[in-house]
Amino acid sequence: QGGVKVIEKRNQEKADLLYNFLDQSSLYENRVTKAYRSRMNVTFFLKDESLNAAFLQGAEKEGMVQLRGHRSAGGMRASIYNAMPLASVQTLVDYMHQFEKSHR
């Protein structure tokens, strides 16, 4: 797959795509200081937590599952490990953007 450096670059691109969307969003927020953000597990919250169930139901309809965050932490968690392609992260960002537009 191109070696460790190539995989590292790909993982950074995936994380940047998702974090950049979260950082500019009016509906979602990431509560982790930038210096400590994970490239593998991206956590985020809907600012209006009453939308959590609708968000998860819509994601599941689009084939995206397991986005619910840890039961003690709440929120959402996108696991974007090595095997997750950039296109799948883009699909998540596209869904999040559409959900945001329809819940302004």
Q: How far is CA 44 from CA 1, 6, 80, in A?
A: 29, 26, 13
Q: At 92, is the pLDDT very low, low, confident or very high (cuts 50, 70, 90)? A: very high
Tell which wins on pLDDT, 68 or 72: 68
For residue 30, what pLDDT is reported?
96
Which structure tokens are listed for 98? 């559409």
Assess contact for 75 and 44: CB atoms under 8 A.
yes
Express each pLDDT in 18-44 by its tens digit.
999 999 999 999 999 999 999 999 999
Which structure tokens are listed for 51? 């939308």
Whether pTM exceeds 0.75: yes
- Residue percentage of the chain with pLDDT more than 70: 100
- Strand 28-29, strand 41-46: pairing: antiparallel
